[in-house]
C-alpha cells in the first residue's frame, strides 16, 4: 500500500499520479459469463485472446439452485482453458452475508487459485469486508501453496459502501479496483429508477422560460444519474493508485446509449466497464482505448514541451506542465494497451 510519505513525495516533472504497483494489465471489458450455463461456458475458449477479462459470475443472475453448478462449472472451465497472456480470469463470488461465499472462496482458491487473477466482491460496505477477504485469502493461498497473491476488486453498490469508498480502496495491498454497481446501489439508496445503469429520461434540467413564457418551447437536457458516484469512486481510486470501472449497462439493444455511458466513465477516469453481452465487448474496447487522434495530439504536445516546463502555443491553444501531464496519461494508456 502507498504510505503517507508517497502522497507527499514530489512527482517527477510531467508525471501523472502514480498507480500503486497493482498489475496494470488491460481490463477495458470485464466480460461476464454464467459458468452454470452450458451455452455460455462453451463460448469461453473462443473469447480467450479477444477480451481483456473473462469473469465467471457466481452471484446475482445465477439462480440459487445453480450456485454449486456455477462454482463447479468455473473450476472445470479454468482447469480446461489456457487463458494465455492477454486474457485474465476473474470471478465474482457471492456476497459476504450469503450462505455460498465461504465455499466459493475455499473451492476456487484451492482448485484454481493459480489461474485466478482477481476476485470481485459484491456489496462491499467498508474496510472490514476487505480485511476479512484479505485474511481468508492469505490462509487459503498458504494452504494451496500459491506463490502469487490473488487480487481483490470491490463493487460499490450500497450507500454505506459509497460513504466508505476511500477506506475500501486503501484497505489492502490486494485492492485492484472498484466497479460501480448501479442496480444494487439504486435499490439501496431507494432511487426510483428500475434500469440497470444508464440514464433516465426523467432526470433532466429544463432551459429557463424565454421572456417569462413558461408554456413556450424549452430545451431539456438529460443528466447523468451516476456522475456523482463515478466521480467520487474515481477520486478514491486515484488517491490509492487502483483502477475505477463503470459496471453494467443492462439495455443490451441500446448500443448507442451504452457507448455514451461508457465514454462518460472513460472521460471521468474509469479504465473499463462490464460487458454483459458479446455486443458490448467491442463497445468497451473502442471506448476505453485512446483514439488515434488523442494519441497523435498527446505526442505533439510532448514534443513541443521539450523539457516539460514552461508554456507553448499549439494550434492557438496554451499548453504547459499540467496539460503535458494530461497528455502523458493518454500516452501511458496507449503504451500499456500496445504492449
In whole angstroms, the minimum distance from the beta carbon of 247 to ligand GLV comes to 5
DSSP class of 191: -
233 binds ligand GLV, rule: CB under 6 A = no
Select from Mg ion, ligand GLV, none the partner in contact with residue 272, using the beta carbon and a kind-dependent cut-off of 5 to 8 Å. Answer: none
184 binds ligand GLV, rule: CB under 6 A = yes
Task: Restricting to residues 41-70, name those near ligand GLV by CB under 6 A.
Answer: 60
Q: Is 184 annotated as a binding residue?
A: yes
- Binding footprint of Mg ion on the chain (CB under 5 A): 157, 181, 184
Cell of 158: 450500497
157 binds ligand GLV, rule: CB under 6 A = yes
Span from 67-75, 180-188, 213-221, 227-235 in contact with ligand GLV (CB under 6 A): 180-188
For 186, counting Cβ atoms within 10 Å of its Cβ (0-12 exposed, 13-18 middle, 19+ buried), the class is buried
Distances in Å between the alpha carbon of 62 and those of 100, 252, 324? 12, 18, 46
34 binds ligand GLV, rule: CB under 6 A = no
Residue placing its CB nearer to Mg ion in the complex, 59 or 319: 59
Tell me whether strands 204-206 and 311-314 are parallel, antiparallel or unpaired.
Answer: unpaired
Beta-carbon contacts of residue 194 (< 8 Å; ≥ 6 apart)? none
Q: Which long-range contacts (C-beta less than 8 Å, at least 24 apart) are formed by 277-283? A: 277/252, 278/31, 279/252, 279/255, 280/29, 280/249, 280/252, 280/255, 281/29, 281/31, 281/47, 281/50, 281/51, 283/255, 283/258, 283/259
Select from ligand GLV, Mg ion, none the partner in contact with residue 151, using the beta carbon and a kind-dependent cut-off of 5 to 8 Å. Answer: none
26 binds ligand GLV, rule: CB under 6 A = no
Residue placing its CB nearer to Mg ion in the complex, 274 or 288: 274
Q: Is 319 annotated as a binding residue?
A: no
In whole angstroms, the minimum distance from the beta carbon of 182 to Mg ion comes to 8
155 binds ligand GLV, rule: CB under 6 A = yes
Cell of 138: 492469505
State which of residues 75, 183, 281, 284 lies at the interface with ligand GLV (CB under 6 A): 183
Select from ligand GLV, Mg ion, none the partner in contact with residue 247, using the beta carbon and a kind-dependent cut-off of 5 to 8 Å. Answer: ligand GLV
Give the separation between CA 95 and CA 103, rounded to whole angstroms: 12
State which of residues 73, 113, 161, 182 lies at the interface with ligand GLV (CB under 6 A): 182
In whole angstroms, the minimum distance from the beta carbon of 183 to ligand GLV comes to 3
Give the separation between CA 160 and CA 189, rounded to whole angstroms: 9
Residue identified by cell 442496480 is 183
- How many residues of this chain interact with ligand GLV, rule: CB under 6 A? 10
Select from ligand GLV, Mg ion, none the partner in contact with residue 224, using the beta carbon and a kind-dependent cut-off of 5 to 8 Å. Answer: none
**In 3D, which of 79, 57, 83, 81 has the Cα closest to residue 70?**
57
Other C-beta atoms within 10 Å of 229: how many?
Answer: 21
181 binds ligand GLV, rule: CB under 6 A = yes
Q: Is 300 annotated as a binding residue?
A: no
Select from ligand GLV, Mg ion, none the partner in contact with residue 248, using the beta carbon and a kind-dependent cut-off of 5 to 8 Å. Answer: ligand GLV
Select from ligand GLV, Mg ion, none the partner in contact with residue 238, using the beta carbon and a kind-dependent cut-off of 5 to 8 Å. Answer: none
Annotated binding site: 92, 157, 184
Q: Which residues bind ligand GLV (CB under 6 A)?
A: 60, 155, 157, 181-184, 196, 247-248
Binding residues for substrate: 92, 157
Amino acid at each position: 500500500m502507498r504510505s503517507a510519505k508517497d502522497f507527499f513525495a514530489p512527482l517527477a516533472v510531467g508525471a501523472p499520479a502514480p498507480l500503486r504497483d497493482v498489475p496494470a494489465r488491460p481490463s477495458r471489458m470485464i466480460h461476464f459469463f454464467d459458468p452454470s450455463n452450458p451455452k455460455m461456458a462453451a463460448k469461453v475458449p473462443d473469447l480467450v485472446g479477444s477480451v481483456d477479462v473473462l469473469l465467471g459470475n457466481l452471484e446475482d443472475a445465477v439462480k440459487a439452485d445453480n450456485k454449486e453448478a456455477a462454482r463447479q462449472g468455473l473450476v472445470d472451465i479454468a482447469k480446461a482453458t489456457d487463458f494465455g497472456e492477454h486474457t485474465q480470469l476473474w470471478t465474482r463470488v457471492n456476497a459476504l452475508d450469503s450462505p455460498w461465499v465461504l465455499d466459493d472462496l475455499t473451492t476456487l482458491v484451492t482448485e484454481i487459485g493459480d489461474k485466478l487473477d482477481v476476485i470481485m466482491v459484491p456489496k462491499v460496505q467498508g474496510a472490514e469486508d476487505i480485511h476479512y477477504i484479505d485474511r481468508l485469502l492469505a490462509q487459503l493461498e498458504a494452504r494451496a501453496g500459491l506463490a502469487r497473491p490473488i487480487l481483490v476488486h470491490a463493487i460499490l453498490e450500497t450507500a454505506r459502501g459509497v460513504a466508505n469508498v476511500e477506506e475500501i480502496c486503501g484497505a489492502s495491498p490486494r485492492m485492484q479496483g472498484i466497479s460501480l454497481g448501479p442496480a444494487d446501489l439504486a435499490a439501496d439508496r431507494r432511487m426510483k429508477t428500475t434500469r440497470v445503469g444508464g440514464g433516465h429520461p426523467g432526470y433532466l434540467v429544463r432551459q429557463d422560460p424565454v421572456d417569462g413564457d413558461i408554456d413556450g418551447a424549452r430545451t431539456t437536457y438529460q443528466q447523468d444519474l451516476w456522475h456523482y458516484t463515478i466521480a467520487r469512486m474515481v477520486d478514491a481510486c486515484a488517491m490509492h493508485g487502483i483502477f475505477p470501472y463503470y459496471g453494467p449497462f443492462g439495455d443490451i439493444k441500446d448500443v448507442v446509449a451504452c457507448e455514451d455511458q461508457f465514454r462518460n466513465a472513460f472521460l471521468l477516469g474509469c479504465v473499463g466497464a462490464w460487458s454483459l453481452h458479446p455486443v458490448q465487448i467491442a463497445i468497451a474496447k473502442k471506448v476505453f482505448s485512446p483514439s488515434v487522434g488523442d494519441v497523435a495530439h498527446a505526442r505533439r504536445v510532448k514534443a513541443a514541451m521539450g523539457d516539460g516546463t514552461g508554456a507553448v502555443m499549439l494550434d492557438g491553444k496554451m499548453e504547459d506542465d499540467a496539460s503535458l501531464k494530461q497528455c502523458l496519461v493518454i500516452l501511458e494508456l496507449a503504451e500499456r494497451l500496445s504492449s
